[in-house]
Amino acid sequence: MRQAADHPLVKRTGSLRWRLALLISAAIAISYFDRQTLPVAIRAIEREIPISNTQFSQLQAAFLMAYALMYAGGGKLMDVLGTRRGFLAIMLWWSFACASQGLATSFGLLAVSLFLLGMGEGGGFPAATKAIAEWFPARERSTVMGIVNAGSSVGAVAAPPLIALTLASLSWRWVFFLSGAVGLIWTLAWAGNYFSPTAHPRLSEGERAAIAEVLKPKPQGQTGARWLHLFRFPQVWGLVCAKFLSDAAWYFYIFWLPKYLYEMRHFDIKQVGYFAWIPYAAAGVGSVLGGWFSSRLIGQGHSLNFARKVALGASAAVMPLIVFVTRVPVQGAIVLFSIAFAGQQSWSTLVMTLPADIFPQRVVGSVAGLVGFGGAIGGLIFGLVVGYLLDHGFGYGLVFGIVSTFHVLGYFIILAAVRQVRPIEAGAA
């Protein structure tokens, strides 16, 4: 407990592992900036390429289909290639894919670019989860996952104003070119700084002692478990199903918020740039707060099981408030979106920490990949449902009513499937 207290966040940037956490967080920020480029720039794109609500949902489906497949495959890739090489490869891929959207001249070419972008970005969170399991002991994981997950909010916060600024002076195509360039710059920092703890040339003796838990020798002759074997564990099913529901809501929020503001609140691009970042800023607060709260409970002597489930329950409890978003003035709508975004990212931080809490390191990437796969499929299916409903006369009120239930249902699934949050041996099955 004392070691955690000796490393307050303001001092942690002097620690190698916390600097690496910020580098990983930057990658997640870039990924969320990249996936916000299309939703924020959609009004400008539509002047050249007409896109209906159904087609907009199909574009997101193209992204999420590839994202889902690569989230599962990306977790396996991290287990096979290792975090250093794996993360480098996927960042190069998604940076070029993001830039390729700027070359699109039709709906079909946009869909292809988004599919390629999803293939790359699908490996992001499995890589981040794997890196956290490599570098951080259990008492710090939810806190650092909160910091890394906050990167998604940083990227999403930066997207509306920066994209609006770019559109004010350049073609919409430059939004994608510049976004891709930022990812390529990140790869240089990653290649020069990230190594496993056992191979890092700048790991001090003091920090080696601080992360002794993750440096313990692992059993020899064991490799990652097959996916079918992992599904023998109810914990895997529970996390996948819960993520399916919660990410159906999350992808609806991040892909449809700008469109909702354009269509229902009659915002222009400048207004979206002014206001759409606020819920994402709240999401960043939620990411850090959820992880901090769970770690705080552990620091007070509570069990890992209690700390994770109480924090998850608190996150889920605020989500039904979104049902009122269509009934309040625009200022109230922004507040409700902010509460929902904060609750979602607090929830996501904790759910994506659970694979590292429960499973051994050799399969953490694979489990995290399966969980993310479930989330992306939830987003894909619900996104298509949303596009159909809106193009067939159903309003946003019905959509928000459905969304308001997802996290609560997911929480009860986790309670049923994960009876105790504690380490298990994946080979025991």
- Domain ranges within the chain, ordered by starting residue: 12-213+225-428
Mean pLDDT score, 216-221: 57
12-16, 120-124, 211-215, 413-417: which range is least confident on average? 12-16
Give how far Cα 260 sits from Cα of 17, 45, 264, Å.
40, 16, 5
pLDDT in tens, 239-264: 999 999 999 999 999 888 888 888 88
Give how far Cα 139 sits from Cα of 142, 332, 353, Å.
8, 37, 11
- In 3D, which of 125, 128, 129, 100 has the Cα closest to residue 114? 100
Mean pLDDT score across all residues of the chain: 85
pLDDT in tens, 18-28: 888 889 999 99
pLDDT in tens, 67-91: 888 877 776 787 788 888 889 999 9
37-51, 143-157, 216-230, 360-374: which range is least confident on average? 216-230
Q: Residue 200: is its pLDDT beyond 80? A: no
In terms of Cβ atoms closer than 10 Å to its own Cβ (0-12, 13-18, 19+), residue 143 is buried
Domain 12-213+225-428's class? mainly alpha
Instruction: State percent of the chain over pLDDT 70.
Output: 92
pLDDT band at 214 (very low <50, low <70, confident <90, very high): low
What confidence score (pLDDT) does residue 7 get? 42
Q: How far apart are CA 78 and CA 74, in angstroms?
A: 6
Helix axes 330-358, 406-417, angle to 10 degrees: 20
Mean pLDDT score, 272-294: 85
Q: Which token pair is 299?
A: 């620091």
What confidence score (pLDDT) does residue 225 get? 59
What confidence score (pLDDT) does residue 224 get? 53
Q: Which token pair is 378?
A: 């939830």
Q: Which token pair is 255?
A: 């892909």
